[in-house]
């Protein structure tokens, strides 16, 4: 069919120009939209030891340990040393592999393996899907287990990132819902509180024009504020002082956004002088130092 027989040439040309403008102003910018949205996952979940603190009862040291508890302690120690593959092998060889305490630990180690640059993207995607498939069916049956909600939220966020921006946006509220549930069950988990702060911070940071583009193309985005983010970051700092350079940096950034320069300066100095043991610590040092130069 010849479209020129249906639509006059002049109207056709005007319509073509309009379509090109939409592509340039609306569609093309979305190619970079994954950066502010995906930052929640990159900063909030891939940089600190995101696993529950296990309170050990030392009141009766003579009492023999349950065999699985000893294995889990070994796995936790191996994980803490960053020996993820070894930890995975320990957990998958446990006789009672279907135990929920084993399952969420398998998810934890797979999630952290997916952060390792030595693996290719397809392998990372596969092990994130594996982790999600392990934990997702356990949510309803273990509603009172904060670790299940925590690792469900993290693996859901990571999996949706691999699927694409539309799925990432669709799952934003669901990710926060399960982080909220996790922190309700364990309000002293600093990493959870930091992640909730990061969620609020990244959602607030999405520029107005990108937000409108997303809402035109996909769906309405959730809203948050720097005040919301700051509250979570401060709670994380109270739960575990100086536990994470990025948390100090974020507190400083929030105070800057709220025009509270004195408070911002205090936390940015802490972030700038934080002992650097990782790439993210170095990044926090540099960003905090750069921001300090801009404060009068």
Structural domain span for residue 190: 34-48+66-195
Residues 211, 44, 39, 267, Cα dihedral to 10°: 80
43 assigned to some structural domain: yes
Count of other CB atoms within 10 angstroms of residue 249: 27
For residues 68 and 90, the answer to whether their CB atoms sit within 8 Å is: no
Of 171, 198, 207, 151, which Cα lies nearest the Cα of 32? 207
Helix axes 34-45, 146-163, angle to 10 degrees: 150
Helix 100-113 × helix 67-80 angle, to 10°: 20
Task: Give a yes or no: residue 151 inside a domain.
Answer: yes
d(CA 23, CA 29): 9
Phi then psi for 109, rounded to 5 degrees?
-70, -35
CATH number reported for the structural domain that contains residue 139 in this entry: 1.25.40.10
Per-residue pLDDT of the chain (296 residues; tens, 9 = 90+): 444 444 455 554 554 554 454 445 444 444 444 444 444 453 444 445 554 444 444 444 455 566 788 899 999 999 989 899 999 999 999 877 679 999 999 999 999 999 888 999 999 999 999 999 999 999 999 999 999 999 999 999 999 999 998 899 999 999 999 999 999 999 999 999 999 999 999 999 999 999 999 888 888 899 999 999 999 999 999 999 999 999 999 999 999 999 999 999 999 999 999 999 888 899 999 999 999 999 97
And the tokens for 9?
Answer: 């040439």
Q: Mention every residue, 6+ apart, whose C-beta is less than 8 A from residue 269.
A: 288, 292
Residue 265 placed within a domain: no
Could you tell me if residue 106 is inside a domain? yes
Listed residue (155, 159, 163, 210) closest to 182, CA to CA: 155
Whether 113 is in a domain gets the answer yes
- Indicate whether 19 belongs to any domain: no
Taking a C-beta distance cutoff of 8 angstroms, is the pair 204, 231 a contact? Answer: no
Tell whether 139 is covered by a domain: yes
Structure tokens at 93: 């060889």
d(CA 194, CA 43): 10
Closest CA to 265 of 252, 254, 251: 252
Indicate whether 70 belongs to any domain. yes
Whole-model pTM? 0.76
- How many domains does the chain divide into? 1
């Amino acid at each position: 069919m010849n479209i020129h027989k249906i639509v006059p040439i002049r109207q056709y040309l005007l319509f073509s120009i309009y379509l090109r403008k939409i592509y340039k102003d609306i569609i093309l910018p979305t190619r970079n939209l994954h950066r502010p949205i995906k930052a929640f996952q990159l900063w909030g979940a891939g940089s600190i030891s995101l696993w529950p603190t296990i309170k050990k009862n030392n009141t009766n040291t003579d009492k023999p340990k349950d065999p699985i508890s000893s294995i889990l302690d070994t796995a936790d120690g191996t994980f803490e040393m960053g020996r993820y593959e070894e930890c995975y092998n320990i957990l998958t060889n446990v006789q009672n592999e279907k135990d929920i305490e084993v399952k969420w630990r398998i998810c934890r180690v797979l999630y952290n393996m997916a952060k390792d640059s030595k693996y290719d993207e397809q392998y990372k995607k596969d092990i994130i899907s594996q982790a999600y498939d392990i934990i997702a069916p356990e949510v309803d049956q273990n509603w009172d287990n904060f670790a299940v909600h925590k690792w469900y939220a993290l693996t859901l966020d990571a999996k949706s990132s691999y699927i694409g921006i539309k799925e990432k946006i669709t799952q934003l509220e669901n990710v926060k819902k399960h982080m909220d549930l996790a922190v309700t069950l364990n309000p002293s988990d600093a990493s959870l509180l930091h992640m909730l702060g990061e969620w609020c911070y990244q959602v607030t940071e999405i520029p107005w024009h990108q937000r409108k583009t997303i809402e035109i193309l996909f769906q309405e985005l959730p809203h948050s504020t720097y005040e919301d983010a700051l509250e979570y970051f401060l709670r994380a700092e109270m739960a575990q002082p100086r536990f994470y350079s990025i948390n100090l940096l974020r507190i400083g950034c929030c105070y800057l956004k709220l025009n509270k320069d004195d408070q911002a300066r205090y936390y940015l100095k802490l972030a700038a002088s934080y002992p650097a043991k990782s790439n993210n610590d170095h990044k926090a040092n540099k960003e905090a130092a750069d921001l300090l130069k801009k404060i009068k």
